[in-house]
Amino acid sequence: MTRTRIAVSFALASVFFGGTFVAAKAGQAYIPPLLFVALRFDIAAVLLLAYAAVTTPRADLVPRTRGDVAGILAAGVFAIGLANGLLFVGQGYVSSAIGAIVFSLVPIFSPLLAGILLTDERLTPAGAVGTAVGLVGVAMVIGIDPGNLLGALDYGTAIVFFGAVSAALGGVLIRRAETTTSSTVRTAWALPVSALMLHALSFGAGESVAAIEWTAGAIIALVYVSVFAGAIAYIAYFDLIDEVGAIRSSLTFYATPAVATIGGWLVLGEQLSGLAVAGFAVILAGFTIIGYRTVVPALEGAVLRAIHRVPPIHLHGDDRRDSKFETDSD
């Protein structure tokens, strides 16, 4: 994977996952939460399986090793299924802002779990500093002080918290599985696993299709979380796990609260404070500290390539002569 592709995958995963919080909050007014997530992955699975069938050689579509199967199960059960099921249920009890900031704890859990389950990933001192800086920025963007955050640790917050743990665990287990399948193929097989599990949980919770109100808002929310925050975002996210590891790929969860805040401002009319703008700068500082070896060089490379595409300015006559630097000494 090139540096440019890493940067694109990072941006897509961050933006589309961030919009999930707004769409989830809006969609739950019309669709029961677990059924909402199950339908989301029904649609995403069909789209991604079709995409994989068209773009992948037939021999590469079938899992061949135990690691391939383990990676699919890790993604389907933990990184996608339980993580989103718990998130959507928890969102029914807390605001989008609280849900986003709690779920952004994934980068904290990832290095802790990676240190236990993996041998090639450790959190460096610089990574620890960057993680702390990023979380401070997230709190600034959301506009929550420590007192309000502690007061929000209720039933719903606890559910979202365990969803974040599940997402981090799934990412680390995918890395540990050492799969031979591409991230696209792995995700294509993982989504049906997630959908089946969530349909079972929805049925056990007493949810029913008859309870769905098929309004325009419900359809828009379902399409967004299925296509953009489903198939596309997960391909990008698992691409990052394969290439840069569980710790750095989890940095996408730092950006999601910022995107969710902007989405709430644009879609729901929520105000964006000056403190939130300052928080974006702090988050960027955290990205720079932790991801300077992958994400930052990729962005720098993209900027340099854009500069090189600008046609050179040719000087003429006296301007050409005057522009020369004098290098001879007397």
250-277 pLDDT, tens digit each: 678 777 888 887 887 787 676 666 776 7
Q: Return d(Cα 24, Cα 244) in angstroms, integer.
A: 29
Domains identified in the chain, total number = 1
Residue 328 lies in a domain: no
pLDDT band, very low/low/confident/very high, at 111 (cuts 50, 70, 90): confident
Residue 327 lies in a domain: no
Residue 32 lies in a domain: yes
pLDDT band, very low/low/confident/very high, at 30 (cuts 50, 70, 90): very high
274-327: pLDDT as tens digits = 776 787 678 768 767 766 665 555 555 555 655 665 555 554 555 444 444 344
Residue 330 lies in a domain: no
Residue 217 lies in a domain: yes
Residue 136 lies in a domain: yes
Confirm if 253 and 171 have CB atoms less than 8 A apart.
no
Q: Is the predicted pLDDT of residue 150 greater than 60, yes or no?
A: no
Residue 205: domain span: 3-322
Residue 205 lies in a domain: yes
77-89: pLDDT as tens digits = 999 999 999 999 9
pTM of the predicted model as reported, rounded to 2 decimal places = 0.76
CA-based max dimension of the chain: 91
Confirm if 304 and 141 have CB atoms less than 8 A apart.
no
Taking CA 157 as the corner, what is the angle to CA 125 and CA 31, rounded to the nearest 5 degrees? 125
Higher-pLDDT residue of 16, 269: 16
